[in-house]
Amino acid sequence: MGALNAWHFVDGRWVAGDPPLMTAWSHATWLGAAVFDGARAFEGVTPDLDLHCQRAVRSAAALGLRSPLTAGEIQEVIRDGIARFPQGTALYLRPFLWSTDGWMEPAAESTKIAISVVDYPMPDPGRGASCTLSKWRRPSPETAPTDAKAVCLYAQAGRAAAEAKSRGFDEAVMLDPLGHVAEFASANLWIAKDGAAHTPVPNGCFLNGITRQRVAGLLRKAGIAVHERTLEYRDLLEADEIFSTGNYGKVMPFTRIDDRDLQPGPVFRKARELYWEFAHGG
């Protein structure tokens, strides 16, 4: 990313740039007990910031960590950080929690927190993106902490993303252990077919994203059918539209899957319109 235009709240004070956090012998450095959450500020709004802060605290607890701050306190720190940037700057907002001590399990009382507020532009929805199937799958709840936004989960997602990019695609479609579609490597996955929206039903193998839940509710309220169900990869190949929901770009279109071209369609456009209206207080 080059020079980072960012502020980080560490040990009770704001630090600019990209400060070091962990020591060589921190528990999380080599045993991986670390979680994060991501929220967004853009166009002067911070949609669902409270829910992201609450999830950060829950994720920490799922790994045996204990947040030094409440969700409300994390939110207050983030708002203070946002005020350090020009109004309307697109920002990535990240509470990050990790263990500094423990044996195999982390010592909950050793949990530390760093809250980052980073200048991070929103992606252009007009560019579209391409996707393909990855051989790497999401783990089951019995094999990994899938109920948390845990750092350790992202090594597998990173392998899927790297594989897709090596084949000329922007994003990977990941399956669950049973071979059903789970999500993209970095976002929740949606398709549209015959005017209805379809998205994989949460089965414990991936996070039921905050933006995902918000978009599902908004579409239903607008009278658009939303089917949370088991999806096969062939459903994506036969879809009228493919789009994603997630923190990075909120609602983004896909314009190619394998060798098939697509266009952003009416369900995607309605989902993005409704989300932006919600974000701005509509």
- Phi, psi (5° rounding) for residue 200? -55, 135
Q: State pLDDT tens for residues 147-182.
A: 999 999 999 999 999 999 999 999 999 999 999 999
- Whether 60 and 84 have beta carbons less than 8 Å apart is answered as no
Percent of the chain scoring above 90 in pLDDT? 98
- CATH 3.30.470.10 positions along the chain are 6-119
- Domain 130-279 CATH superfamily: D-amino Acid Aminotransferase, subunit A, domain 2 (3.20.10.10)
Quote the pLDDT of residue 200: 98
Q: State pLDDT tens for residues 15-49.
A: 999 999 999 999 999 999 999 999 999 999 999 99
What CATH architecture applies to the domain 6-119? 2-Layer Sandwich (3.30)
pTM of full prediction above 0.75:
yes
Q: State pLDDT tens for residues 230-243.
A: 999 999 999 999 99
Pair of tokens at residue 141: 């709840």
Mean pLDDT throughout 81-100? 98
Nearest to 184 by CA among 219, 144, 211: 211
Q: Which residue has the tokens 């897709």?
A: 164
How many whole angstroms separate alpha carbon 164 and alpha carbon 190? 18
- CATH 3.20.10.10 positions along the chain are 130-279
Q: What are the helix (H) ranges across the chain?
A: 27-31, 49-62, 71-82, 154-166, 210-221, 233-237, 266-279
Quote the pLDDT of residue 1: 46
Q: State pLDDT tens for residues 223-282.
A: 999 999 999 999 999 999 999 999 999 999 999 999 999 999 999 999 999 999 999 996
- Whether 216 and 275 have beta carbons less than 8 Å apart is answered as no
How many whole angstroms separate alpha carbon 14 and alpha carbon 77? 10
> Residues 145-168, buried b or exposed e (16+ Cβ, 10 A)?
bbebbbbbbeebbebbbebbeeee
